[in-house]
Amino acid sequence: MKLHNIFGAICVLGGTLALSSCEKYDELFPEKYHCVLNIKDAGIRNIELYTTDAEGNVSVSVMKTGSEGNVPANGVITPMAEEVFQAYCNTNGLKYAYLPAEYYSLQSNDLQFSAQERYKLVNALLKTKEILQLQESQNGQKYALPLLLRSSEVSVNDSLLIIVPDIQAPTIGLANAGFTNAVSFSSKGEATLTYTLGLTLPIPNTWGLKCSLTCNEEAVEAFNKYNTQNGNRYKQLPSNTYSLPENGVVTFGNEATTASVDITINRTSLEMGEYILPLSLTSPTVAGVEISATQKTVLLGITYSPDKLELKASQFKANSIAEGDGTGYTGLIDGLGSGLHFHSNWSAPVKDATYGNYIDVTLSAPIQSVKFDYWTRFENGNAAPTHIKLFTSADGKAWTELGKITTGLPTGGNQQYSSPIYHAEKSFSHFRFAVLESTAGSMTNGNAWFNLGELVLYGN
């Protein structure tokens, strides 16, 4: 900037300062800005409240500002009229319903500011349980409390606050609900095992919350339903074989959102088999806390399994085997990573009206309980078993049917099936895995075949 321009700017500024010094300070501000009341954070305020509090407190801060803010001032917070609010919602595309007066109260809403006071709080107390019931009765309709700030003495800005409560009932739930495999025993392993069951809470516990975990009628009903759906393969775990600490009472720690309980199971009094321990959550000790309907019951699977049998290819014998497809008997025990399989004869299907295509296993020692796992062929489920019968024999000649399976069998590639535990009346040293039908068709009429990716036996 040139020197004469700088000089001119200084002269203008000096003249302005001289003029200002002749005016009163208040004359620089319009009267409406001398003292102003306003709601801090006015507008729409979404508030999350819980039914654990009979009344949810929403604090409304009213500020006193302006060029003469150090003078007394009066005002009042009042609900907006319902018809005015509905018109406001229609104009602004809001879908709130007007919260009736019986669902809230206002405290300290008559505002009397002294000269020194710069803010005051108004408390809106909302009846949480009643509002939640109102919302549920109206298919989840959201309600709002519109509050207006008024004053006959001073100016008011930011005068509308719309409180929109979101009322929730805190729910206790199980981290794992429904059926879950909890513990597995074998005759050579530990006699006592512990399963840790987790519980969850959506907000920190501030009430000394407790609840109970129990095998009640609801839990037993859930067990019976599940067991029926699964061919009644399970027994209910006897009460003398497990223990719950504190008789099943679970305590949430202070400020905690999770809790856990260690369930101890002892197999000493159990027969080999598959069991379920059904447990349900009940009796929260804090009013307003509920039990989650979908995370309420757990079915803990407890398996007391026979020991795994170490098998060799020489122990297998089949009435139908495909040469050059897979690796024969070795394909049953060479591990999942090999990708190889056993295949019955597809080029010249073998017909057997009683046993279909079968694999016999000569056992190293007699057993009386048996279960098995198998995997379908790695590449696909073509010729995966769909109808299986099991037989036992003491001499490999006279066979006794042990069980049959026609449901729940996998038909995709590389899928596992785990059988129930079967108990024979007498010990046996020969086991027959007979496939009567597969996804390729029936083997009892000689038109089809089957394959397996792996076969594992367990027995005692």
Can you give the CATH number for the domain in which 240 is found? Answer: 2.60.40.1740
Position 11 scores a pLDDT of 38
| Residues 141 and 175 placed together within one structural domain of the fold | no
Residues 444 and 398 in one domain: yes
Q: The domain that contains 420 carries what CATH number?
A: 2.60.120.260
pLDDT at 345 over 60: yes
Domain count, the chain: 3
For residue 61, pLDDT beyond 90: yes
**Same domain as 175, residue 58:** no
Shared-domain flag, residues 249 and 321: no
Yes or no: say if 410 and 388 are a contact pair by the CB < 8 Å rule.
no
Q: In terms of domains, do 121 and 208 share one?
A: no
pLDDT tens-digit readout, 252-311? 999 999 999 999 999 999 999 999 999 999 999 999 999 999 999 999 999 999 999 999
Question: Residue 31 — pLDDT band, cuts 50, 70, 90?
Answer: low
pLDDT band at residue 70 under the 50/70/90 scheme: confident
Decide: residue 5, CB within 10 A, 0-12 exposed, 13-18 middle, 19+ buried. exposed
Query: Same structural domain for residues 185 and 163?
Result: no
Nearest 5 degrees, angle CA 145-CA 148-CA 151? Answer: 160
Rounded to two decimals, what is the model's pTM? 0.72
Residues 301 and 186 in one domain: yes
Judge contact between 39 and 45, C-beta under 8 A: no
Q: Are residues 442 and 318 in the same domain?
A: yes
Do residues 387 and 448 touch, judged by C-beta distance below 8 A? no
Residues 439, 382 share a domain: yes
The answer to whether residue 99 is domain-embedded is yes
pLDDT of residue 18 exceeding 80: no
Does a structural domain hold residue 11? no
**pLDDT of residue 57 exceeding 80:** yes
Residues 97 and 190 placed together within one structural domain of the fold? no
- Of 305, 337, 365, the domain-final residue: 305
Task: Judge whether 36 and 154 are in contact, CB under 8 Å.
Answer: yes
- What pLDDT is stored for residue 66 in this prediction? 87
Mean pLDDT throughout 384-412?
Answer: 97
Q: What is the tens place of the pLDDT at every residue in 358-378?
A: 999 999 999 999 999 999 999
Give residue 25's pLDDT: 46
Looking at 285-356, which runs of residues are DSSP E strands?
290-291, 297-305, 307-308, 316-318, 342-343
Domain that holds residue 112: 29-168
User: What's the angle, vertex CA 369, arms to CA 315 and CA 344, rounded to 5?
Assistant: 40
| Domain end marker among 116, 145, 168 | 168
Residue 32, pLDDT score = 64
pLDDT at 2 over 50: no
Say yes or no to pLDDT of 160 above 70: yes
d(CA 369, CA 144): 67
Read off φ and ψ for residue 325, nearest 5 degrees. Answer: -120, 110
